[in-house]
Structure formats: structure tokens, C-alpha cells
Amino acid sequence: MYCKVVFDVPLDRDFDYAVPAELENKIMPGVRVTAPFGRVLTGGMVTSVSEICTAPKGVTLKEIASVVDKRPLFGSDLFPLMRFMKAQWGGPIGQILFSLVPPQPYFKLDNAPTSVHIDIKTPSMRLTPCQETALQTVRAFAAYEFHPVLLNGPSYTGKTETVLRLAGEVLAGYGQVLITVPDIAAARQFISEAEERFGADNVFCWHSRMLLSKKKKYFSAVSNGLPCVVIATRSGALLPFKNLRLAAVLDEGDDNYKQEENKPYYHLRELLMFRAKMHGAVLLFVSATPSLELLQKVHRQEVAQLSFTQAVPGHAFTPQIKLTDKKGEKSRFLSDFLLAQLTENLQRKETSLLILNRRGYSNAYYCLNCGAYAKCKKCGAILARENTPEHGDRLVCKKCGHTETLQQECPHCHNLIFKSRGGGTQKVVTELAKFFPKAHLLRLDSDTLKTKAGQGFEALNALKSGRADIIVGTRLASGALRGAKITLAAVLDAELELDGPDFRASEKYGQMLFALRGHLSGVSDGRLIIQAADKEAYDYEHLFAGDYNAAAQSELALRESFAYPPYVHLAKMLIKAKDADVLAAETARIKRLAAPLVCQTLGPVWCAKKTDVLKKQYLLFKTDEARWLELVAALDSFVPVKKASVKLSADPYDFY
């Protein structure tokens, strides 16, 4: 007997092995084995078993050393899922497979508990007609074929309550539920609510940074088909569900749902469309600000839409929205209007949230007179100030690598007064402390959330309890608003990111503004202040009206006219080499390879990084639906020369 084995290495192929007689009845596709591989004994997974040897001639087969699992850890959808991920986003099958199944041979399944206790506590409240309709419609869909649904409507319309009720029904029927949230902070906020409702034993909180022992426990339970509600971040979509009946994606529009840092790359939305379909599960996308990609699926009737229009009782307020200059008489960061509002809020003992939109532009250079940013003359991106021993003080474009001197003329007022701004929550807090020495100030960003003792967690709690006067956060804070008790929110440097290289910047910015607006509509006298240097950089009209869908439609029209997603697919190839000639040659080869499959090629664009002997640039290909998978396959199988390396991102969210 022979079998093919895939190993936990970034190799895009399987290897043939002979199966010793005593292991023949234990070997089957999906079980893990150990086998001599290269010079070591290592863990792999059997992908197929055969009586005839199909190994290429000239190779001497080695034997499987041991079989690790009694039964496959993952269900029968393992290999279809692997192939789907491979086709959609590329990458070596070894890495894809072992992102679905733990590679450590000592990671074995726990036994399934013999009994489960399910006691669901549903809060008694009167449902709105929209909620009633949604419940009935989703139940009806569930009885027929796979039909994904978007639950769409502003904050406080009871979307989440609807999801929790449906989840309760599934759990009561001994089914499995997956509810995904954008990040760990959101998971933490959600978990206690879920535990109270479904019982702590039936709720699993899953994210990538958890203890292996917990991972093992939850992975086993899910694989054993135990009834449960899994509250998870993106990676929860890769769990080995046996009996998935319902999957819900909360805050669908959040860009955390795209994995692009580590392989395998995937987008949760597309992945769950595939998995829920295979399992025949109900799939719900829940958002006040859904992505344009999803809205287009709704438009094409691939996803149904249920609109939530009625606010739950006590939360139907219209917040005031005010656009101000960012230049203040008294402060570098805070307009006089904002300062006055903060003072008022402090007197009322209410909590304010300030959002600093800094996204890698901590050293932007801006006009002291009107607040405009120095921009790259080549590509229009915001320039960063950089002071290095070799080149001295200068401005660098992080998008195209172009450099300029500090002598900049303001594009608006034509003065020569630009000033460096080392923005950041810390500086804002320092500034605030001068004005409000007695106020309780907290920072909420990825830095302060890194350590358990950091004030980030205190800030998260304070958002809910109101036990802080002013919280200064980054974009991350706008995603942790569930249950927040704030009456004033301000965006400090509004349009800063709109000029970046990311064509989705405007969509993301809009989503953040609508999220803030939505949460302020839950309190009386909520106020949203937007400090903008360039009030024309974003169309605020729909925000004032509170109509996200209108904002999305005008954004979609722009995307269509400029031929950007969701109207085309994008493939990014990042090419690295030390030698400029090698880089140019490889770039040209990739261009030639892709040419027959694309409708437009953008770039190559240089990636500027200060301390790098390496040369990096990327190419962007645009193509239509028909040639998309073919293009991914072609770029994925591109083998660079020894001195170069490439990285493919299918439908990328990161641009640099």
C-alpha cells in the first residue's frame, strides 16, 4: 500500500510513501502521520491512499513511521476547503492544510463529554417588527437551500439581538454556531453577554493568541460535534465544525476580516460563503456599515438583505454633527470648539472619546497656517518627515519613495510654514492634561492593549462604565463601541488617511464616521465633531443625513468609474531582490505572464523602506471575474529566480 503525504512546510506539493503492513488499516486520508522527510522525522498528513505506486521513477520510497490520529481531526470538508483556499488566494498547500489542523503530533483530540447541559436565558423584551420579520425570514431560509443574508441597519435597531435569538434556537437544537467579531477587544466585550445567555460551558471564545490547552479543548469539542456557540475572531472560521448550523459575521465591513500578514491569506467573507454552503448552514452578515463587496453581492442577489429601520425603545436620537477646522487658537490638536465641548462634557461628568486617525503617518508634515499636509508631487500621498544620519532632515513618500526637502510651499495658502507633527495618542493626552489637569484621561490603542496591565483594558472598561473623562484612541477604539457610554466623540485629523495609497480609504473612513454617529444616536444630546483641514476631501452630506447606503452607493459609483473592486479583482505581486537588474527582469517576466489574463496593470511601484539593501516593488493587476482564478493560479505558480522572491496577494487590502 502507498500513500501521499503533505508536510507542514511551505511546499506546494505532496510526497509518496510506502505504508508498512502493520499500519495499513490505520492509514486514511485526513489522518496525521510521522515520516522521514529529508534528514528528519517530521509530521505530515495523508491526502490519499492507493494500492499502486504513482511515484515518479527514480525515487526510492521511504516508509511511513507512525500514524498519529485514530480518526481525521477535521471533517470531510477538509480537502475541498484546502482546494478552495488554494484557488482563491494561492499559497503552498502544506501551509494551507496545516492552518486547518494543528501540526504538533502531541496535539490530540480530547474525548467528547457524554452529556451537555443547555439552558438558554433569553431576555424578555418586545421585539420590533423588523426583528420579528428577520427572525421569521431567516428561519424560513434555513429550512430550504443555502441562502446568505445581510442584516443591515443603524446601531440600536436590534440586529445583534436577532442573531443571538437565532443562535439560541440552533443551540437548543444541539447545533453548532459560529459568531465572528473583528478583533480580540470586540470578542472580550461580547463574551460575557454570550455566556450569560447560553451558559459559560456552551460558549467558546476563540482567537489566535490563546493558550494551547484551551485551543486543544475547544478544537476537540468543535471537532467532536459538541453543541456550542463559538465567539471567534477571523481564525474561528477555520475550525473543524461537524454540525455547523449558523454562522454570523458581526461588523462585516471591518477590514480585520482579511488575513494578509501570515499565510494562508484569506478573506472571512468569501471563506464562510464557501463553508456555510458546504455545511448547509445559515450565514448572516451583520453590519451597520457593510463592505462595498457585500453590497454588490446583495445587488447581484447572491445575498439577501433584511433592513432594520426601527430603533429599539429609548435609543432613537439624532446626534449633532459639526465640522470644524483643526487649527485651534489654544492648541495644536484641538479646535477651540472642541475644547469648549470637552469642558462642557467634563462639567456634566460625561465621557468623551477622541479618535486620532493616525495610520502609519506619525510624522506627517503639515501647514501651521491652514492645516494642510505636505504631499508627494509624484503620487499625491502624504509625506513623512524622516531624519537619518546619511540624508539628514527631509520628507519621504512612503508610497513611491520620492523624497523632498523640508522647504515646502503649502498647496492651499502658499505659505512656507510647515511643521512636523509627531502625532499620536500620547501627545494628545499630554496636551489634554494641560487644559484639564484634574480630568481622568485614558489611552486606547494597540500599544496600550499589548500588555495586560496597560491602560488599554481600563479604557475598554471605562468606555462601558463611563468611569473616565476623556479617552483618546485610534481607529481601534471606534470598533469597540458596543455598549459604550459616551456622549461626545471627535475625530481629530479627519481626512489624513484619505490621500493614502489605499483606494478603500474613503470607505473605511466613512464606516468609522457612521459607527460613531450610530453609537451617539443611542444617547440624548450626542455630539460628533470632525476636525478637518480639507472639508472637501470627503462628502459629509450622507453622514449628516445618517444614510450609509447612500454614501455606499456614491462610493460604488466611483469604484465603477475608476474600475476598482468590487467591479474588478486585484492581484498584487510584491517582488524583492537585492540587485536592481534582477528585480527589473523578474518584474518584466511577471508582467508577461499575466498580460493575457489582465485588463490593466498598475505599477511597478517602489516600496520605500529606510534601512534596506533589498529592492522592493509591487505590481497590481486588474482583471474580471472570468479570468480571476486563472490569474491567481498563474501568479501563484510563478517561480522566481534564486536571487529574488515574490509574494502574491489576491484581492489585497494592504498597499505600500
Indicate the annotated binding residues: 367, 370, 376, 379, 397, 400, 410, 413
| CA 202, chain centre distance (Å) | 26
Closest contact distance (angstroms) between CB of 54 and DNA is: 9
Using CB under 7 A as the criterion, what x/- string covers residues 55-94 for binding DNA?
A: xx--xxxx--------------------------------
- C-alpha–C-alpha distance, residues 615 and 579, integer Å: 7
Looking at residues 16 to 55 of the shown chain, list those that interact with DNA (rule: CB under 7 A): 16-17, 35-40, 55
Closest contact distance (angstroms) between CB of 108 and DNA is: 21
User: Between β-strands 176-180 and 244-250, what pairing exists: parallel, antiparallel or unpaired?
Assistant: parallel
| CA 36, chain centre distance (Å) | 38
Which part of the chain contacts DNA (CB under 7 A), choosing from 5-13, 292-300, 399-407, 627-635? 5-13
For the annotated binding site for Zn(2+), the residues are: 367, 370, 376, 379, 397, 400, 410, 413
Using the minimum distance from each CB to DNA, give the nearer residue, 38 or 389: 38
- C-alpha–C-alpha distance, residues 478 and 510, integer Å: 12
φ, ψ of residue 137 in degrees (nearest 5)? -65, -45
Closest contact distance (angstroms) between CB of 327 and DNA is: 49
Using the minimum distance from each CB to DNA, give the nearer residue, 261 or 329: 261
- C-alpha–C-alpha distance, residues 40 and 7, integer Å: 12
User: Between β-strands 392-397 and 403-404, what pairing exists: parallel, antiparallel or unpaired?
Assistant: antiparallel
Looking at residues 142 to 161 of the shown chain, list those that interact with DNA (rule: CB under 7 A): none
Closest contact distance (angstroms) between CB of 310 and DNA is: 53
Using the minimum distance from each CB to DNA, give the nearer residue, 37 or 373: 37
What CA–CA distances, in Å, run from 515 to 180, 238, 298, 510, 548? 18, 28, 21, 8, 10
Using the minimum distance from each CB to DNA, give the nearer residue, 38 or 437: 38
**Which residues are CB-contacts of 63 (< 8 A; sequence separation ≥ 6)?**
17, 18, 19, 20, 35, 36
HEC profile of 443-460: EECHHHHHCCCCHHHHHH
Cβ atoms < 10 Å from Cβ of 232: 22
Looking at residues 603 to 642 of the shown chain, list those that interact with DNA (rule: CB under 7 A): 642
Using CB under 7 A as the criterion, what x/- string covers residues 503-542 for binding DNA?
A: ----------------------------------------
- C-alpha–C-alpha distance, residues 539 and 551, integer Å: 8
Using the minimum distance from each CB to DNA, give the nearer residue, 59 or 417: 59
Give the binding-site size for DNA (rule: CB under 7 A): 20
Using the minimum distance from each CB to DNA, give the nearer residue, 62 or 322: 62
Element (H, E) at 625: helix 625-636
CA angle 317, 320, 322 (to 5 degrees): 160
Which part of the chain contacts DNA (CB under 7 A), choosing from 12-20, 185-193, 208-216, 416-424? 12-20
Using the minimum distance from each CB to DNA, give the nearer residue, 61 or 416: 61
Closest contact distance (angstroms) between CB of 582 and DNA is: 10
- C-alpha–C-alpha distance, residues 316 and 522, integer Å: 6
Closest contact distance (angstroms) between CB of 39 and DNA is: 5
In 364-487, beta strands by DSSP E? 365-367, 383-388, 392-397, 403-404, 418-420, 441-444, 470-473
Closest contact distance (angstroms) between CB of 173 and DNA is: 43
- The identity of residue 283, as a single letter, is L
Closest contact distance (angstroms) between CB of 95 and DNA is: 8
Using the minimum distance from each CB to DNA, give the nearer residue, 92 or 253: 92
- If one asks whether residue 298 binds DNA (CB under 7 A), the answer comes out as no
The C-alpha cell 446583495 sits at 298
Using the minimum distance from each CB to DNA, give the nearer residue, 41 or 200: 41
Closest contact distance (angstroms) between CB of 11 and DNA is: 6
β-sheet bridge partners, residue 37: 40
Which of 9, 116, 118, 406 forms a contact with DNA (CB under 7 A)?
A: 9
Sites of contact with DNA (CB under 7 A):
9-11, 15-17, 35-40, 55-56, 59-62, 642-643
